[in-house]
Structure 1
Amino acid sequence: MLQAASDHSVDNSTAMLHEWLRGVQHRYHSVEWRPTEQPSSFADEEGPKHWPDSRFVHVMKLRQAALRAARRLWTDYILFVDSDNLLTNRQVLTDMMAENLTVVAPMLESKSLYSNFWCGVTPEGYYRRTPEYIPIRKWRRRGCFAVPMVYSTFLLDLRRRASRDLAFYPPHPQYPHHLDDIMAFAFSARQAGQTFVNLRSLTSSLLHSMAVDMLPGYTDPYSDRVLTRGEVGCFLSHYNIWKQVLQQELQQVLVLEDDVRFEPRFHSRLVAVMENVHKVGLDWDLIYVGRKRLQAKGPESWVKGVPDLVHPGYSYWTLGYVLSLSGAQKLLQAEPLNKMLPVDEFLPVMFNKHPKVEYMQHFEHRDLRAFSVEPLLLFPTHYTGEPGYFSDTETSTIWDDEATETDWDRREAGHGRGQRSEGAGLQPGAQ
């Protein structure tokens, strides 16, 4: 389907677009043509280059209408292209789809340094020139890069679950900036749990634009290193799921990382545990189904009245856990992005079982009601040092330095925590 709109024009744009449509419309399943000759300007604009709020709102409504039409037709993809953008590479659409991202854009050329992406955004929502921009723009860095904003020409993959909450209009209720179609969509994407990101490259500017900062004084207990970029990506995967739970008011979900091995009868055993939990009316926020037990302060005690459930001590790994709506609320209310530590250490902080008091002091409310299935219902597919083992969290780059690589898990094979996976997925209902 092709949808074209032309209005508020003071030149022959409408005629040119109409002529082009007559020549190509036979190539499309259907064509929707929306021309409006009058008025030629907005009532509150001061000239053709002035953008009052009414002009921004009009563009946002046009794009939202196109998005609604695409969703109504169960379209797999929708490509937004401004009329002054020309795509000359016949392969570009195939290349963008191959990236398998919710939002992806081609880098557009111009006679200057101008393009259709930003590598940095100020807290007020304006363009910020960052060191990453020019090397990418001049093709000295090649690939698909994480950026906080794309505009003008970009592709949305509507097959992906994350695309359901994307919107151009109206702006998100918490949108904090001046009205702007580009910034409003970028904010919508972030609130929907998306950034315009290829996780192969979480840039420093993107992390700063998201107000990501490391917990003061944090170092890895095994390698004495700081947070890695992979650990940030892992945390953001879980954090975005917690937001989705809250936004959709999901009562309970099962969160699984992407490298787990299920024990026999996983499903029936988990169902039995959850039935017992509800039968005794246990107040819970989080229930581990897979973790690394550390038992730093002795054996863990059993939960009264619920077979196969214990009160967990300090634990590593977030292989799998059941999370309630109240649990997601508590994790988000802690505002962990600007005092981040690995997600598998953040959770014990939140249920007040972390051995380092100096870490816990940064989080005022540590009342997460956490439990663990015992025996555990899933384990990692590979352990540190085994054939086939790979970890983006342990072997990546320093969180705020794209040049400093880390390989502690390989040097410390068999001793490190290992097994922090970069991806996490959500299953509503936990059964």
Structure 2
Amino acid sequence: MTTVLPPGMPVTFTSDWTGPFDGHELTRNQLEAAGYKLFPWKIESDNPWWSRPLKYGEIGCTLAHLACWRHAAETGDEKFVVILEDDAIVRSTFLDDLLVGLRRVVSGNTFDVLYLGRCPLDPEQDQAVTTGFVSPAYSHCTFGYLLTRSALNVLLATHLEHAIVPIDEFLPSLYIDHPRPDVRARFPKQLKAMAFDPPLVRQRSKDEAGSDTEDSDFVEP
């Protein structure tokens, strides 16, 4: 990421932080001792992502995003904050393209979350907003997105740390009526989202980059 991100873009790497957890050595006891609680995730469902327990990699990913939001809320006063995972693919013109897109979309549009890239699960329900942007329906993947400063406060006010769910499910729950009633009740819709279309950022394939979330153990009962 150091080699591909624009040199003029201030960057904070979570790998530089010393935090309460090592994501590769995470245990449920560690989480609970630190005051973190898991949402009762596994349900009877035809959806394979819902009918199994959480994985430690999913928890670690969620905690990493949460740490980024907290850090961004506590430091700096930038109007926008960009979150990129380490498998994000950005073009050499990323920053220029982002700024051009923001100038276009900020005029006359209100948003809290702006997907730079995503995996749409219900693409026919996306609604065009303006050239190059849509109002996204249910989407997964958080390898690249932008938040307004006010959105940070909303995200942190949900106290995700007391009901940890996969970040892929949490983020859309705040801008759509989540298809799972229990998730929808715990994290009701309260933000407005938009998305670059076509995407500004893409994700490296799992065949090439692997997956820290999928290649991890299920949480013990």
Q: TM-score, normalised by structure 1?
A: 0.44
Q: Is residue 2:44 matched to residue 1:213? A: no
Aligned counterpart, 1:259: 87
Distance 1:203 1:356 in 2: 26
**Could you say if the C-alpha distance between residues 399 and 196 of structure 1 is closer, same or farther in structure 2, counting changes exceeding 3 Å?**
same
Distance 2:91 2:19 in 1: 34
Counterpart amino acid of residue 217 in structure 2:
T
Aligned counterpart, 2:125: 299
The 3-state SS of whatever aligns with 1:321 is strand
2:175/2:189 contact within 8 Å kept: yes
Q: Is residue 2:198 matched to residue 1:198? A: no
The 3-state SS of whatever aligns with 1:240 is helix
1:316/1:345 contact within 8 Å kept: yes
Aligned counterpart, 2:48: 222
The 3-state SS of whatever aligns with 2:24 is coil
Q: How does 1:8-27 map to 2 (within 5 A)?
A: none
The 3-state SS of whatever aligns with 2:36 is coil
Counterpart amino acid of residue 160 in structure 2:
P
Describe the superposition over 1:68-102 as per-residue Cα deviations: whole angstroms up to 9, x where unpaired: xxxxxxxxxxxxxxxxxxxxxxxxxxxxxxxxxxx
Aligned counterpart, 2:73: 246
Q: 2:172 aligns with which of 348, 351, 356?
A: 348
- What is the aligned length? 205
**Could you say if the C-alpha distance between residues 334 and 277 of structure 1 is closer, same or farther in structure 2, counting changes exceeding 3 Å?**
same
The 3-state SS of whatever aligns with 1:340 is coil
Counterpart amino acid of residue 321 in structure 1:
Y
**Could you say if the C-alpha distance between residues 196 and 356 of structure 1 is closer, same or farther in structure 2, counting changes exceeding 3 Å?**
closer
1:232/1:342 contact within 8 Å kept: yes
Aligned counterpart, 1:66: none
After superposition, the CA RMSD in angstroms is: 2.4
Q: How does 1:272-351 map to 2 (within 5 A)?
A: 272-280=100-108, 282-295=109-122, 298-303=124-129, 306-351=130-175
**Could you say if the C-alpha distance between residues 233 and 354 of structure 1 is closer, same or farther in structure 2, counting changes exceeding 3 Å?**
same
Q: Work out the percentage of aligned pairs sharing the same amino acid.
A: 27
The 3-state SS of whatever aligns with 1:302 is strand
1:267 positional shift: 2.8
Counterpart amino acid of residue 116 in structure 2:
V
The 3-state SS of whatever aligns with 1:397 is coil
Distance 2:21 2:166 in 1: 20
**Could you say if the C-alpha distance between residues 337 and 360 of structure 1 is closer, same or farther in structure 2, counting changes exceeding 3 Å?**
same
1:209 positional shift: 2.0
Q: 2:212 aligns with which of 376, 382, 392?
A: 392
The 3-state SS of whatever aligns with 1:200 is helix
Distance 2:87 2:59 in 1: 18
1:294 positional shift: 1.0
Aligned counterpart, 1:421: none
Counterpart amino acid of residue 81 in structure 2:
V
Q: Which runs of 5+ in 1 are unaligned?
A: 1-159, 165-192, 402-431
Distance 1:253 1:357 in 2: 30
**Could you say if the C-alpha distance between residues 232 and 263 of structure 1 is closer, same or farther in structure 2, counting changes exceeding 3 Å?**
same
User: In terms of Rg, which structure is larger?
Assistant: 1
1:400 positional shift: 4.2
1:313/1:353 contact within 8 Å kept: no
1:255 positional shift: 0.5
Q: TM-score, normalised by structure 2?
A: 0.82
Q: Which has the higher contact order (CA 8 A, sep 6+)?
A: 2
Distance 2:140 2:82 in 1: 18
Aligned counterpart, 1:231: 58
2:55/2:218 contact within 8 Å kept: yes
1:339 positional shift: 1.3
Describe the superposition over 1:19-66 as per-residue Cα deviations: whole angstroms up to 9, x where unpaired: xxxxxxxxxxxxxxxxxxxxxxxxxxxxxxxxxxxxxxxxxxxxxxxx
